[in-house]
A and B are shown apart, each in its own frame.
Chain A
């Protein structure tokens, strides 16, 4: 075949992959406790707009794994990249800037107990230069969006310290804090554990809207009801097999 001969082959489809937000390259991680989720030469990528669902068993605690993803604990081996930047070195200002773009709902302790919930929710935004008016507006928007019939309770709770607020309201406030500053990556650790079922639809639509605007979502689902949420397709599933994260997942029926 000569170089100028006409070809009958159709050119390969030219689509562009969405930008990678969180990348794992051969990551090994043991964690600190028996309930920690491990990684064994784990490689995967979460891209803008993607939703990755990880199904947790009752005994699993994703906290230290997520902290490793955020560069707070180093992995035993391999590399974790956020927005194509690593967590290595002593450029702490860059690391903190990167973390400020990530929304996180914590499994377990999530609040600074000496501050009110309002101050807790505003804290990161104000620290990273969002004006008080803008922060108020954003928080108000997400309160209206997520709270449903719990609206009055949430507004009351904002003036209180976390220790006197009931868990279902705290769960809502955690979501508000994580979503308020339009994160590029949203990591949810058992976000619905204490949330009322009647608010699940609000949660799903909020997550889908964030995805539509480019947020990548890593969702550690912690209960049967959570596996059945109707997110917009595609939903990528990762599984935990023998306590180790695996990308060969499939949504539970």
Chain B
């Protein structure tokens, strides 16, 4: 019988939800990694034995990446640590914002994104990571700025069929892409607005909050921007707005359905100057036509008034069928849908603010 696991990274530690493949009744384990901000969690389901990841930062003792091969019951890190800048980089990792496995035809390849803005590649299944020099040495780097969360690469989107292609998103800086395995990188922000800059159409400098793509349609990507929801159909050459039909174009996460490349989810907030859900009503918005039209999903989510935002990595899907969708809020609630978002059930409440969620059916 299958089982499902839900990693819940919070400002003060990790909780893990466990249930069977039906994903209706969740049991919550935790906390682990107490007093660490769990900015990233990850699940690598490419092998028979899934590997879980946690990227935590202790305000006292610094950042660390741990992995688990027993569904989060025990965690390991190599003696000398998983991730750290070489001496000549003259920088130190502050937070690990993203841990993302590459496609199944690149076994062992796992990427990480950090503050300060750097991309890291592991070829040993996420045990140790090496700095991707091509992006670190990019001449634009000195012009990348810091959002409230610090200057970070928070999104890594490996191309599903071409191992030489990777897209990253950073705040601020925007989207950058490589087509040669990380040696050279180009900004890919054409069409994405930067309303907080004197020139709202810069080559780079945008504050892209999250990217998503379906592996069957890798040239189509979705972006939730710091104001603006966009889609590209040509691998990032041009981005076009898909925000019509949403109550707001501001928000943090964007997620694609695991089996339906046209189905995408966002969690709108009113504006950058008012980061709470419109109408004080928590709603996931789902599009089933790649952003042409949107529908609110509320069945099982809290009634108004409810003011908690959802952060960039606190909305996710699993790979189950029907698809599971999960969200965690800044007021410490976690909701799960086992029917692609039609209905939601509460997994947890009164946790510390939720920074990251990832789930898998095993």
Q: A and B bound?
A: no
Q: Which residues of B contact A (CB under 8 A)?
A: none
Q: Which residues of A contact B (CB under 8 A)?
A: none
